[in-house]
Structure 1
Amino acid sequence: MKRKGVERDQAAKELIQKVYERYNGVLGYSRIQLFLLQDHGVWMNHKKVLRIMQDLGIRSRIRRKHRCNYVSSEGGRVTKNILKRDFKADAPNPKWVTDITQYRVGEKWLYLSAVKDLFNITKLSLIK
């Protein structure tokens, strides 16, 4: 039943807009539903929250994941691919490779770097 001039969800729209702005627009409909209940004591179906958010034209802002920026010794961001997937070494010491792994321990980050000589690796793989 539609009535002229009566907005049925006006109070809900204002409340959802208030929660959305309070948390800087980073919440989606499921989190907004949770904070409506937690902060204001109002339980609302998640489908209704989603519909109202779509009516208001608001969406959650997606936070970008942290990306590592690789720095080369030449001043660029990424080093050149010198090996070009040629991992065979005929003598010791011409080709060395490394990898860095980071571990979070408590509040600090620990970094582990393994350095390998490709000559030893190719000889081991020929034995197998």
Structure 2
Amino acid sequence: MSATNELLTAIHARLTGDTELLGLIGEDGVRDRLVTGRKLPCVLIGELMSNDYSTSTERGEEHLFSLEVWIDAGGRRQAQLVASRLHALLQDVALDLGQHHLVSLLHVRTQSRREAKTKLYVVELRFRAVTEPIAAVTA
């Protein structure tokens, strides 16, 4: 499995395993896309960009990704509560990625807005993760 897929799988497991977050957004509140007719609030795994971050001696990847909080009732205040919980769950956390090592996972920025067409509040959190492959153990 690629480092990107392992990272997304670990993040999804971390978010869906947190009862406090699920209390704010519901059991099916972590999604990969916004679906019309599905209950809000929700957390969407948004944009993801992975870049080669290798040095002359070590292989590595940089992953820039966003999580979006979409909410209708409760407005910006409720969206910020969910965003705060996401930050607490992911900021500088150690995640098991399987075949890759998570070197760092850091929050970069948070931005909130009201969508003009839907009138929904959206809070976008951006994170930066760095991964490297786990070296094979030789005898």
TM-score, length-scaled by structure 2: 0.22
* Structure index of larger Rg: 1
Quick check: which one's helix share is greater? 1
Flag the structure with more relative contact order, 1 or 2, with Cα contacts below 8 A and sequence separation at least 6.
2
